[in-house]
Structure 1
Amino acid sequence: MNKHNLLPAFLAVLAAVFYALSIPFSRILLQSVQPAMMASMLYLGAGIGVGLLYFMRKKREPVSEKLDRKDLPYVLGMVALDILAPILLMLGLKSTPSATASLLNNFEIVATSLIALLLFKELISRRLWLAILLITLSSLLLSFEGAGALRFSPGALLVLLAAACWGLENNCTRRLSDKNTYQIVTIKGIFSGLGAMLVALMSGEHLPSLTSALPTLLLGFVAFGLSIFFYIRAQKDLGAAKTSAYYAIAPFVGALLSYAVLREPLSSLYLPALLLMLLGTWLLIKDTLSLNQAQ
């Protein structure tokens, strides 16, 4: 790796590490913040933080990069899914070990690829199909309540539903890829955060105390806002394929942090599921990089 790529590579890894913080520390904060309100605060933290970074920038984007009326369906879809997905994730985290939830988040890759195939007719290579199969098998193992149980954990299923929503959201956001990213993230954070807050208040949840709200907003800014910010910066130099390959470590960093911070017991199925997930992610990275070289 040449010196020019060292900083972008570091930023891509930092983006993955920052996002990985979201699962274990969200689980801790859920002790004092209710699930839908938690989702709201995380996205508001990201939207407000990235919005401030956007307004502090000296360089302004060309008019062609600004969102316009034809982008509205994708923006609305993005915001709606970003209201639903984190609420499902926070509800799932209430009863799912955070190390398990971190790995289950990788199901987002499966959902993104299959939705891209079904809705936008994007091709899936044989290697990617194998990666999808392995990640899906791993997710199924992680979703069982135990080695002797033949039923799925409701919490794990909620985490998988959240990942599926983010998979659909990724396809909406991809249609906006040539637009200003700061603007997209700010809109996503603020409007999804306000939408989740409305859902929280309508379902009887209450605003958290200031001592709970501030660390939640800060976590949202770091784990969602700064993570996206560093991802964008890395992508400008490394390209989308290499950046996503570095970012693929996020679920595993999240699982490691979760175990280190919370010391939650792991099921007997966790290790085989982890190995399947590692193999599936490795195949995904190889497929992404080989596609990038072919192009």
Structure 2
Amino acid sequence: MNRTGLVLALMSAVLFGASTPFAKLLLDGMSAQMAAGLLYLGSGIGLALVLGARTALRLPSHDEAALTRADLPCLLGVIATGGVLGPLLLMIGLTRSDAASASLLLNMESIATLLIAWVVFRENVDRRLLFGAACIVAGAAVLSWQGHAALAPGALYIIAACMCWGIDNNLSGQLSAADPVRIATIKGVVAGSVNLGAALVLQHARLPGAGVVAMAGGIGFLGYGVSLVAFMLGLRHLGAARTGAYFAMAPFIGAVVSVVLFHAHDVERLAIAGAFMAVGLWLHVSERHDHEHVHEVMEHTHRHVHDEHHQHKHGPDDPVGEPHTHHHVHARLVHSHPHYPDLHHRHDHGEGTHSHDHDPDPGHTHGPGGHTHAA
């Protein structure tokens, strides 16, 4: 199966997970909205510098598909849910929760991503994935339940943030053929400016000292910017449901860091919740999906090499060398191999489709006899 997508998704999880307890340090003497704004501005400005350096040095990685006008609705949705609302709700939740529990509650993001991918975007989800999701939910319940009939303070805000990021992840999957650095830059600058502007104007907040601003920028660049770029590249290879499942590693990283930073207590409860979540994560990452499928004719633009899915002729104006980016047409192809729901395997599964532990991707829509690419 796709090891590149797995590595990218786990890299994203490690960076974001480690950033959560460090983000909590910013909340001493700073409003939640100010912290959210600084984190995302740090992400956007840092990635803008990467874009500038990439172009100036003419690095091969600058050869990515451009955003188009048709991408604008998804891009606006990504900015609103993942850039503005998600970070704000998380910062509010962090002010009312201990860092370890908050970090593990972020596993709810993978559940939200999976459910939205399954119900709204029709990615295939089988019983194995659903059982894994149930295990993760059970772990989150162990963490968030306090006393007889009350959730932990801040838990609902963190769960709401995860719902926002679940929407964001699925919308980002629709943009995964385009340049992820450019998308993450726009998201960071716009969303960070909105939250920071609201904090300064509506809350009459003051900017913290230069050292705190620099710290927030660094955390945002790595934990939100670089992490988001890796996540979007993972979406390109794995689809939203699977990338979200691998991303469930993030809360474990955050919990470990928070135990070291804040000497978190109630380690027994963390261990029980972590065991549930570990089982759920293992069920997700160990699935296998393999069956004969049909790739119908489709055309699109994205970065690619000439593998079995990309056997096309080049015109005189098309780029040389690999990987490269240009508009191309996929001929009809019938074959069988293990696959994820990547850019070329997004499909519904009918009764005639044989499978083992299904794995859908963002490029295939399966019909009863196989799958059809949706451009």
TM-score interval for Structure 1 and Structure 2 normalised by the shorter chain: 0.7 to 0.9
1:96 aligns with 2:97: yes
1:120 aligns with 2:121: yes
Aligned to 2:178: 179
Aligned to 2:19: 22
Q: Sort the Cα spacing of 1:192 and 1:34 in 2 relative to 1 into closer, same or farther, 3 A.
A: same
TM-score of the superposed pair, with normalisation by structure 2: 0.68
Deviation, structure 1 residue 189: 0.7
Q: Sort the Cα spacing of 1:76 and 1:8 in 2 relative to 1 into closer, same or farther, 3 A.
A: closer
Deviation, structure 1 residue 204: 3.8
Cα shift readout 1:164-184 (whole Å, capped 9, x = no counterpart) = 110010011111011111110
Classify the secondary structure of the residue corresponding to 1:269: helix
The higher-RCO structure (CA 8 Å, 6+ apart) is 1
Cα shift readout 1:5-32 (whole Å, capped 9, x = no counterpart) = 8x99877655433222211111111113
2: CA distance, partners of 1:106 / 1:9: 17
Structure 2 counterpart of 1:98, one-letter code: A
Give me the identity figure in percent.
Answer: 34
Structure 2 counterpart of 1:18, one-letter code: L
Cα shift readout 1:231-271 (whole Å, capped 9, x = no counterpart) = 567889xx448987765432211111110111122275333
TM-score of the superposed pair, with normalisation by structure 1: 0.86
1: CA distance, partners of 2:257 / 2:169: 25
2: CA distance, partners of 1:45 / 1:9: 26
1: CA distance, partners of 2:132 / 2:7: 26
Aligned to 2:312: none
The question of whether the paired residues in 1 share the 8 Å contact of 2:26 and 2:216 is answered with yes
Aligned to 1:137: 138
1:294 aligns with 2:338: yes
Aligned to 1:222: 222
The question of whether the paired residues in 2 share the 8 Å contact of 1:108 and 1:164 is answered with yes
2: CA distance, partners of 1:97 / 1:276: 20
Matches within 5 A, 1:1-12: none
Q: Sort the Cα spacing of 1:117 and 1:10 in 2 relative to 1 into closer, same or farther, 3 A.
A: closer
1: CA distance, partners of 2:118 / 2:107: 18
1: CA distance, partners of 2:112 / 2:244: 16
Structure 1 counterpart of 2:284, one-letter code: L
Aligned to 1:83: 84
**Bigger radius of gyration among the two:** 2
Deviation, structure 1 residue 83: 0.2
- Paired residues in the alignment total 282
Cα shift readout 1:123-149 (whole Å, capped 9, x = no counterpart) = 21110110111111221221112xx33
Deviation, structure 1 residue 203: 3.4
Classify the secondary structure of the residue corresponding to 1:25: helix
The question of whether the paired residues in 2 share the 8 Å contact of 1:50 and 1:229 is answered with no
Q: Sort the Cα spacing of 1:191 and 1:244 in 2 relative to 1 into closer, same or farther, 3 A.
A: same
2: CA distance, partners of 1:22 / 1:110: 20
2: CA distance, partners of 1:129 / 1:12: 20
Classify the secondary structure of the residue corresponding to 2:71: helix
Aligned to 2:71: 71
Moved more, 190-199 or 268-277: 268-277
1: CA distance, partners of 2:235 / 2:151: 38
Deviation, structure 1 residue 210: 1.7
Q: CA RMSD in A?
A: 2.6
Aligned to 2:40: 43
Q: Sort the Cα spacing of 1:131 and 1:246 in 2 relative to 1 into closer, same or farther, 3 A.
A: closer
The question of whether the paired residues in 2 share the 8 Å contact of 1:83 and 1:195 is answered with yes
- What residue ranges of structure 1 are gaps of 5+ in the alignment? none
Deviation, structure 1 residue 191: 0.6
Aligned to 2:168: 169
Deviation, structure 1 residue 34: 1.6
The question of whether the paired residues in 2 share the 8 Å contact of 1:40 and 1:192 is answered with yes
Aligned to 2:31: 34
Q: Sort the Cα spacing of 1:155 and 1:123 in 2 relative to 1 into closer, same or farther, 3 A.
A: same
Structure 2 counterpart of 1:77, one-letter code: G
Cα shift readout 1:148-168 (whole Å, capped 9, x = no counterpart) = 332112301111111111001
Cα shift readout 1:38-89 (whole Å, capped 9, x = no counterpart) = 0111111111111111121114435xx2111111110111011120001100
1:53 aligns with 2:50: yes
Structure 2 counterpart of 1:277, one-letter code: M
Matches within 5 A, 1:155-166: 155-166=154-165
Aligned to 2:213: 213
- What residue ranges of structure 2 are gaps of 5+ in the alignment? 291-336, 340-375
Classify the secondary structure of the residue corresponding to 1:149: coil
Moved more, 82-91 or 194-203: 194-203
Structure 1 counterpart of 2:88, one-letter code: I
Q: Sort the Cα spacing of 1:234 and 1:294 in 2 relative to 1 into closer, same or farther, 3 A.
A: closer
